[in-house]
Structure 1
Amino acid sequence: MYSARNPKVTGPVFKKGQPDDSYKFQYPPLPSGVYPYHLNLPRSAHADQRLVFNLVGDTGGLKSPDFQRQIAEQMGLQYKLEEHPPEFLYHLGDVVYHFGEREQYETQFFKPYSHYPGPIYAIAGNHDADVNPDNPEPCQSLDAFYEVFCNTSPKTVYFSGGAARKSQVQPNVYWTLNTELATIIGLYSNVPKFGCITSEQKHWFIKELKRAGAMSGKALIVCLHHAPYSADTNHGSSAAMIRFLESAFEEAGVYPDVVFSGHVHNYQRFLKHYKEKSVPFIVAGSGGFDELHVLAEVTDPQFTQEDELLEGVELKAYCEGHHGFIKVAIEKEEEHLTLTCEYYTLAHNENDPAQPARLYDRFTIDLKGEDHFSCPELEGQV
């Protein structure tokens, strides 16, 4: 909660004195599919009227696996019980911790999501891509991630512990999911703490933005693991990701309708004001890792909000004390298109761990009009 004694910041921050860890950069594997790395979502009966999906990041967990299991179960309940259930889960990275090793996937991914009924797509996080130098079985960065998510055909994953879920067929570590109502561009931001994106990927991204901008009647969603904007005390904002996105948007002349990221273990909703329109930037990294990240206090000398890269960005809502996940619904009525994003949190009730997730925050974007608008927070800040 905000308090007069220790007020939280009201916008994104940079953490001072961060060391340069760019040496952790890992070259990704070659694409498993063909350029320009598109995957078409199978068409449903209502594909041209409605698209609903779950979205979550940082689900892996070693110390307290109950959180990731409960998140998976709650998303599975939405899939089974709602009138308009989600069609798939889009994962924002850090599927497993602390290294992206094959032996981590059975307990941190396949078992918790054994009852999630739908397909699971993903972009890789820094932990998925990092390599354990002490592992006696040599491997390259993203070897296991590719076998699970970027295979050439749906196959049984031999290190899944016999799970029924087959491998996904994403064409590359950065790729685009095409649907009837949305273009979802997934970026790969590598291993360093604040991310690193190659010039080759930037060139591809600008082309994808231009392609999406030339289409009418679709939402444009950008997903990446490292959060461009954050007010937390563990990471703070990423100057590298802000510069990358701002440069790409400006060169393409196209701005997305919403940007989703993980990496930071909480929920934050920012609104970035451009001349063209205002764009929500959502942090959704509270998907299961036991350690949640808190927001900086105004008086904390380790952080600063005084930087031109942070100008025009407002913190509209946050949740730092509960694990949670997102449901996105894109709906079309005649020529009117809206995108609604809802954030649900676990109750964290030890006496009733199966208590249903509660709706914590909701915002809606009118994709056909000039104005973007948000609904007031349902719960405030926690």
Structure 2
Amino acid sequence: MARIKTPSHPSHQFGQKRPPAHGGHSQASPLFHGSKVQPLPAPTGQAPFRLNLAEIIPDAVKAMEKAGGMALHMVGDTGGVQNPTPQQLVANGLEQDAGVAGAFGVPGFFYHLGDVIYFDGQASEYFAQFYQPYEHYPNPILGIPGNHDGDIYDDGKLVNPEPSLAPFVRNFCAATPGVHTPEAREATRTAMIQPNVYFTLNTPFATFVGLYTNVPEGGVVHPDQQDWFEGELAAADKHLPLIVAMHHPIQSLDTFHSGSKTMAKVLATAVAASKRQPSMVFAGHVHNYQRFSVSDAHGMTPFIVAGHGGYHNLHKMARANGQDLVTPYQAPNDPNVILDSYMDDRFGFLRLEISGDFIDLACMSVPRPQEPWSKAPRLYDRLRYNWKTRKSVMFPS
């Protein structure tokens, strides 16, 4: 893989935070608790918190098995607070792409990477920021919560603010199927039946281990979450690709959040304990798209940031010597981390197609607000990855 020499004097220090007014959230949140670890809610299912995709869409799973592969959508940071237009454009794009059949049919579900509701997971915002935008999206929506979903909204007027993640649990972790929550109002979508705020999704073609990384910047996991995470990596079917999802990213070269050393340690500890390397690692939190190749002695693992799902402030990438980063770009101080692609000026979503040895990833962009809203999503970036050999490969011509 080509290596690009890192400039010795970048114009912006990677990981340095800009003032919140430039791209943060605290100025619009009445009481921001973002430095506090919040207690986890009780699970609604039995340990070790696994959900089989066939429990949700049995007919679609049969079709996937017949086709020999599966397709799905993925993105995070969708909440359309203050300006709902970007979220609606992404929702429109997801709806259009849900009808596009690829090699294995149409996408079967949407996996959310967290921050469903801004600013702080309020029940009162679920209709405007979740149920209404996806009113016509035909597929189930699963996922992990983000820091804003877990933070506690308190404007000083609430007598009893809801505990952390209570609305998320109601709307994503119902104990039984078919629950229509008060937050859904007249929408027909019912609550998802995830067994916990962190859980494993088993499918015929991949295992998804979704880790909730709590509220504080950089993420935090409780000891029991770490134990669970290690156990689920070890237990995952070795004949299937293993996909890890967490809200706080390990790799990021943006100018506001940057990557998390805490999450890097969480993953490294889990990999060492389980002796299982993830096939891909996905995160949100940073409001743009970034694709990294992280190499070790045995191959390469893609690390993807997909937080460009509709929250109105996109995060800009760092610059080097006053210039935009040119990919492939070697991350500062780590020759094993290469930024392969990024998009920090458009919203969009991911489409994954998984079968056999391969994971095909497509980053789709959607129209800007001033462009015709009817325009179809456009391919921005793509990757074909052989998860068994741990190498990227060329798409067939």
TM-score computed with the length of structure 2 as normaliser: 0.84
Equivalent residues in 2 for 1:277-316, closer than 5 Å: 277-299=299-321, 307=333, 310-316=334-340
Q: Which 5+ residue runs of structure 2 have no aligned equivalent?
A: 1-6, 20-32, 323-329
Corresponding residue number in structure 2 for 1:119: 140
Structure 1 residue 23 displacement after superposition: 4.2
Deviates more, 1:263-272 or 1:244-253: 244-253
Equivalent residues in 2 for 1:322-361, closer than 5 Å: 322-332=346-356, 337-348=357-368, 350-361=370-381
Corresponding residue number in structure 1 for 2:29: none
Structure 1 residue 350 displacement after superposition: 1.5
Q: Which 5+ residue runs of structure 1 have no aligned equivalent?
A: 1-5, 377-382
Equivalent residues in 2 for 1:76-91, closer than 5 Å: 76-83=95-102, 84-91=105-112
Structure 1 residue 80 displacement after superposition: 2.0
Corresponding residue number in structure 2 for 1:379: none
Equivalent residues in 2 for 1:167-182, closer than 5 Å: 167-182=191-206
Asked if 1:195 corresponds to 2:212, the answer is no
Opposite residue 16 of structure 2, the aligned amino acid is K
Q: Counterparts of 1:254 and 1:107 in 2: how far apart (Å)?
A: 40
Secondary structure (helix, strand or coil) at the match of 1:45 reads helix
Q: Counterparts of 2:217 and 2:256 in 1: how far apart (Å)?
A: 10
Corresponding residue number in structure 1 for 2:384: 364
Residue deviations 1:263-317 (CA, integer Å, cap 9, x gap) = 00000000111223210000000000110001111247xxx9655xx45111000
Residue deviations 1:103-148 (CA, integer Å, cap 9, x gap) = 0100000000011101100100000000012251421000100000
Equivalent residues in 2 for 1:127-206, closer than 5 Å: 127-134=148-155, 136=158, 137-154=160-177, 155-206=179-230
Q: Counterparts of 2:152 and 2:331 in 1: how far apart (Å)?
A: 34
Asked if 1:56 corresponds to 2:68, the answer is no
Q: Counterparts of 1:323 and 1:17 in 2: how far apart (Å)?
A: 21
Asked if 1:238 corresponds to 2:260, the answer is yes
Corresponding residue number in structure 2 for 1:14: 15
Matched-pair contact (CA < 8 Å) for 2:111–2:141: yes
Change (3 A) 1:182 1:357: same
Residue deviations 1:60-108 (CA, integer Å, cap 9, x gap) = 0222211111111111112124252100000000001001110010000
Opposite residue 129 of structure 1, the aligned amino acid is G
Q: Counterparts of 1:165 and 1:373 in 2: how far apart (Å)?
A: 38
Q: Percent identity?
A: 36
Asked if 1:29 corresponds to 2:51, the answer is no
Secondary structure (helix, strand or coil) at the match of 1:64 reads coil
Change (3 A) 1:169 1:274: same
Change (3 A) 1:311 1:191: farther
Opposite residue 43 of structure 2, the aligned amino acid is P
Secondary structure (helix, strand or coil) at the match of 1:373 reads strand
Deviates more, 1:37-46 or 1:26-35: 37-46
Change (3 A) 1:211 1:351: closer
Structure 1 residue 13 displacement after superposition: 3.8
Q: Counterparts of 2:260 and 2:335 in 1: how far apart (Å)?
A: 14
Q: Counterparts of 1:272 and 1:351 in 2: how far apart (Å)?
A: 36
Change (3 A) 1:240 1:311: farther
Secondary structure (helix, strand or coil) at the match of 2:120 reads coil
Matched-pair contact (CA < 8 Å) for 1:264–1:284: yes
Opposite residue 15 of structure 1, the aligned amino acid is Q
TM-score computed with the length of structure 1 as normaliser: 0.88
Opposite residue 288 of structure 2, the aligned amino acid is N
Opposite residue 285 of structure 1, the aligned amino acid is G
Secondary structure (helix, strand or coil) at the match of 1:46 reads helix
Q: Counterparts of 1:113 and 1:8 in 2: how far apart (Å)?
A: 45
